[in-house]
Each structure stands twice: as C-alpha cells, then as structure tokens.
Amino acid sequence: LDPDEFRRLGHAFVDWVADHRARITDHDVQPAVEPGSVRRLLTDGALAGGLPETPQPLEELLRTVDEVVVPASTLWQHPGFFGYFPANASLASLLGELLSGGLGAQGMLWSTSPAATEVEQVLLDGFARALGIGEAFTFDGGGGGSIQDSASSAALVALLAALERAGGGAWRESGTDGRERVYVTAETHSSLAKAVRVAGLGARALRVVEPVPGTVSMSPDALAAAVAADIAAGLRPVMVCATVGTTGTGAVDPVRAVAAVAAAHDVWVHVDAAWAGVAGLCPELRHVLDGCELADSFCTDAHKWLLTAFDASLLWVRDATALPRALSITPEYLRNAASESGAVVDYRDWQVPLGRRFRALKLWAVVHGLGLDGLRAHLRGHVAMAVDLAAKVRAEPGLVLAAPPSLALVCLRADTGRGPEADDAATRTLVERVNASGSAFVTHTVVDGRYVMRIAIGAVTTQPEHVAALWQRIRADSAALRREPVQ
Ligand code: PLP
C-alpha cells in the first residue's frame, strides 16, 4: 500500500467501522455458532487454498469480515452487553489507535521513541491526579505510572517488584526459596494466583485471608493474624493484594486498614481496581478508593470502563525505581547515552516484554475528545442506571439482590420461596433466557453458594432504555417462571 492507496482504503475501512457501530443493534449480542464453524467457513471459503500467495484486494477482507467474522463475534460494544465487565472501545479511542499504528513507534526505550515515553508519563501523572490516588504516584512525586497490556500483567510485575524488595535484591540472584507468601481473599481475581504461579512461587505461597464476617471483604484482623503466624513460622510475607471492585460482586476491601497491617511488616500492597478504579474520577464515587494512596502499586483498566480500546491497563507505583530494579536486564545493543544519563524512563523496565506500543495515544484521544467531564458523565450515567435497576429489583416479588449493588454492577437472583435448589435453577433459566433473546447478554457468578445473575452496566452506548428493556425481559421471564409448574 502506498499512502494514496491507504487513504482510499482507509476511508472504506473507517466507513465499515462507522456502519458497524451505527447498526450494531441489528445483530444479536452473542452469536449462535458451533465450535469450529468459523474455521470451516474460512478453510472452505476465503482461505480455501491456505494463505494467499499473491496480493488480494483489501476490500475483499471487508466482505469476509461481514460474512464470517461479525456473525461469529460476541459484540462487546452492543448496548445490550452486560456481561463480565465492559470492554469499552469508544470511537475516539479507535482514532487514537490509528495514530499509534500510523506512527508505528516501538517505545521500549526512551531513545527509541521519546514522545511515546513522555506522552505516557504526562498522561499517567494527569490521571493519577484526576483519580485522586495521590501525588506520590506521579513522576513528579517520585513514583510513576505506565500502561500495561492487562491488569494481570500489572499484578505480575507488581509481585516481581515486591519479591525484589522483600529479598533486598537477593531474589534476582537466588530466586525464590519457598518461604514467600502472598495474601488475597477468596474473591481476589484469578490473575493474582496466575502471577504467583508465573513467578514460580507455587500455589502454597497464596494465603487466602478470611473476610470481615458477613461480607466478602478482606478482614484486616485476619490479615494481621495470618502475617504474624507466617512470620513466626519463618515464612516471608511479600505482598498483599487488596481489591477495589471484585469481579464477582464489585466488593471493596478496606484498603486503608489492610495497608496499615502491611506497613507494620513492610509488605508490598498492590491494589487491584481493574474495573472500579476509574470511578475515582468522580468525586462522589471516590470513596471506593479510600486508602489507595497508601498502596505501593495501584492498577485500573482504562480498557474496561474508561472508553479506551483494549489494551490499556494503568499501573502506578509509588517508587519509580521499584520495577526497573526488579526487571531491568541490559544487553549491549540496548545501551544508549540517554538511559545511562539516568534522566529518562525506559518503559521496557516496567514490564515483561521488551517491545511496547504507543498506547498512550488512544488514552489521550479519549480524554482529549471527551474531557474529564465527559468521562465522568459516562461513569455517572451507568451508576445512575444501576441505582435505578437495583431499586426495581428490590421492589420485585420473586427477585432479590444477591449482593449490595456496587457502582454499575447489579447482582440478582430468583427467590422462589421453594428453597436454594429451586432458586438456583430459576436464576440459571433467567440467565439463559436473557441470553437467548439476542438483545442482551449477562453472565453469572456464585455468591454464598447461590447462582447469581450479574448485570454489569457499562458498554459505551448503553442508555437507560437498554437497561429498561433488559429489566422488562427479566421481570417477564421471572413472572413466567413463577407460573410454571414445579418440576
Ligand atoms: N482484576 C479484576 C478485579 C478483574 O475483574 C479482572 C477482569 O475482569 C482482572 C483483574 C483481569 O483483567 P485483565 O484482563 O486486564 O488482565
């Protein structure tokens, strides 16, 4: 492609995206496809002879995307998508992605693309201030932020920094010795268990701390007891992960009290606020981040609820030297005067991969195009919809809230009056019926052993009418189920 041809085709591709988004509700949120069907369509069709040996017109790709890819895609940008947590890919962020790909910069070192590094630094400092997590997390304040590919990677590198600190650097030479311990709760995201495994600590390193009675949030007293017992047993507490907005129900650990316990034993505090952390942009919601200013690392995903296309996980550390100390390895070919001057940040030392994309451009496009006020309006709109939905659930016979609503997440279940098994079966049927409708998609969790429907409001285009339509369906299905004879 030369630039002129790119311009011509680029218009067609942008038109395709615009049309797809404009008509997204013509499609079901979730496709009804059998495993292997896409492979079969491709190997019998567009890729029947294997990969093309000769150049093919790129317009043809759009046709195949329409015929094969879209019908087999779960449409996360559909306003009826209420599953998991959202994966916002606003059109503004796509324009930023285009700039990033257009520049094609690889920002592993400051010197390989000074702008990629410094734009990211300025944006992350700005977001640390806008979220209110504290000046200590900014580069100006001695800490700093980086954009990782995922909250999972963020947890892994935070753990590696914690291991480095706990071992006084010995970990780099000798690795782990089986005495390291990492504290989580039963509700902590599985990415922490994965980080523990990838770091080579083994599952025995994971200590599941009891919750505050009657909640699922980490008990600071139980944490203190676990840490004290482990130290007495000759083990080495390395990191505690506090969650702000658990994946199941959006529960929040008491970060301030957890951090106080950790501080007494110099244990690294990582806050996983992958979904909920962005709520800190709204002063009236910032209470969910109480105590996060005391953490050693804090992560929130712009690619979940902050309008930024995957991938853009924002990770801050209060000590800008912590990640490079743990991760920096410098072969000769990466040596350069700027790095050696100590005056620059080399983001390769803040992550596992060497190479890195210029992700900051898409985040910049989002905040430039909407302003912080626009981001707040996006979040507030969804929270208001969730408040309204939760009130309706409370007032509805046959349905109950399965957990306190959290920001834009509502968890509900059937209450048949016929016991837990009947409730679970009814809730499962409700989830299946919503998803079979094609106009909405929800997922489930288990709370206190009970099957629960999760409604995570947060797609870019979700409006009150989409939540109202979902509610009408749930209500009607729930009423119909109550009229059905007991099996
Ligand atoms: N932490 C929490 C609380 C999550 O809910 C999720 C995903 O939903 C993750 C971590 C993992 O996010 P990522 O896909 O960015 O690794």
For the chain, give the secondary structure using H, E and C: CCHHHHHHHHHHHHHHHHHHHHCHHHCCCCCCCCCCHHHHHHHHCCCCCCCCCCCCCHHHHHHHHHHHHHHHCCCCCCCCECCCCCCCCCHHHHHHHHHHHHHCCCCCCHHHCHHHHHHHHHHHHHHHHHHCCCHHHCCCCCCEEEEECCHHHHHHHHHHHHHHHHCCCHHHHHCCCCCEEEEECCCCCHHHHHHHHHCCCCHHHEEECCECCCCCCECHHHHHHHHHHHHHCCCEEEEEEEEECCCCCCCECCHHHHHHHHHHCCCEEEEECCCHHHHHHCHHHHHHHCCHHHCCEEEEEHHHHCCCCCCCEEEEECCCCHHHHHHCCCCHHHCCHHHHHCCCCCHHHHCCCCCCCCCHHHHHHHHHHHHHHHHHHHHHHHHHHHHHHHHHHHHCCCEEECCCCECCEEEEEECCCCCHHHHHHHHHHHHHHHHHHCCCECEEEEECCEEEEEEECCCCCCCHHHHHHHHHHHHHHHHHHHHCCCC
**pLDDT score of 449:** 95
Look at residue 417 and tell me whether its pLDDT is greater than 70: yes
How many domains would you assign to the chain?
3
Same structural domain, 188 and 229: yes
- What is the span of the domain harbouring residue 246? 105-357
How many angstroms separate the alpha carbon of residue 84 from the centre of ligand 1?
A: 10
- Determine, yes or no, domain membership for 84: no
- Determine, yes or no, domain membership for 92: no
Same structural domain, 476 and 433: yes
Q: For ligand 1, what atom is nearest to the CA of residue 153? A: 16
Indicate if ligand 1 lies below 6 Å from the C-beta of 112. Answer: no
pLDDT band at 482 (very low <50, low <70, confident <90, very high): confident
Report the residue among 191, 241, 299 best suited for mutation to probe ligand 1: largest number of ligand atoms under 8 A from its CB. 191
Return the CATH number at 476. 3.90.1150.10
Mean pLDDT value across residues 402-415: 98
- Determine, yes or no, domain membership for 336: yes
- Determine, yes or no, domain membership for 242: yes
Indicate if ligand 1 lies below 6 Å from the C-beta of 188. Answer: no
Mean pLDDT value across residues 230-237: 98
Report the residue among 246, 275, 297 best suited for mutation to probe ligand 1: largest number of ligand atoms under 8 A from its CB. 275
- Determine, yes or no, domain membership for 29: yes
Mean pLDDT value across residues 472-476: 97
Look at residue 323 and tell me whether its pLDDT is greater than 80: yes
Return the CATH number at 66. 1.20.1340
Indicate if ligand 1 lies below 6 Å from the C-beta of 275. Answer: yes
Q: For ligand 1, what atom is nearest to the CA of residue 313? A: 15
Same structural domain, 212 and 307: yes
Final residue before a domain boundary, out of 73, 97, 132: 73
Same structural domain, 282 and 333: yes
Indicate if ligand 1 lies below 6 Å from the C-beta of 313. Answer: yes
**pLDDT score of 24:** 98
Report the residue among 146, 147, 152, 352 best suited for mutation to probe ligand 1: largest number of ligand atoms under 8 A from its CB. 152
Indicate if ligand 1 lies below 6 Å from the C-beta of 146. Answer: no
Look at residue 427 and tell me whether its pLDDT is greater than 70: yes
Final residue before a domain boundary, out of 55, 73, 91: 73
Look at residue 486 and tell me whether its pLDDT is greater than 80: no
Q: Beta strands 144-148 and 313-317: pairing type?
A: antiparallel
pLDDT band at 484 (very low <50, low <70, confident <90, very high): confident
How many angstroms separate the alpha carbon of residue 295 from the centre of ligand 1?
A: 18
Same structural domain, 158 and 269: yes
**pLDDT score of 170:** 93
Same structural domain, 209 and 302: yes
Look at residue 441 and tell me whether its pLDDT is greater than 70: yes
Beta bridge partners of 455: 410
Average pLDDT along the chain: 97
Q: What is the pLDDT of residues 140-161, one digit of tens each?
A: 999 999 999 999 999 999 999 9
Q: For ligand 1, what atom is nearest to the CA of residue 311? A: 15
- Determine, yes or no, domain membership for 337: yes
- Determine, yes or no, domain membership for 172: yes
Same structural domain, 192 and 316: yes
Same structural domain, 115 and 232: yes
Indicate if ligand 1 lies below 6 Å from the C-beta of 189. Answer: yes
Mean pLDDT value across residues 66-71: 97
Final residue before a domain boundary, out of 73, 97, 116: 73
Indicate if ligand 1 lies below 6 Å from the C-beta of 427. Answer: no
Around Cβ 166, how many Cβ atoms within 10 Å?
Answer: 22
Same structural domain, 289 and 152: yes
User: What radius of gyration do the chain's Cα atoms show?
Assistant: 24
Indicate if ligand 1 lies below 6 Å from the C-beta of 311. Answer: no
Mean pLDDT value across residues 288-314: 98
Around Cβ 93, how many Cβ atoms within 10 Å?
Answer: 28
Interface TM-score (ipTM) > 0.95 = yes
How many angstroms separate the alpha carbon of residue 224 from the centre of ligand 1?
A: 26
Q: For ligand 1, what atom is nearest to the CA of residue 150? A: 15
Mean pLDDT value across residues 53-77: 96
Look at residue 351 and tell me whether its pLDDT is greater than 90: yes
Same structural domain, 197 and 305: yes
Look at residue 487 and tell me whether its pLDDT is greater than 70: no
Return the CATH number at 138. 3.40.640.10
- Determine, yes or no, domain membership for 97: no
Q: Whose CA is nearest to atom 12 of ligand 1?
A: 151
Proportion of the chain above pLDDT 70, given as a percent: 99
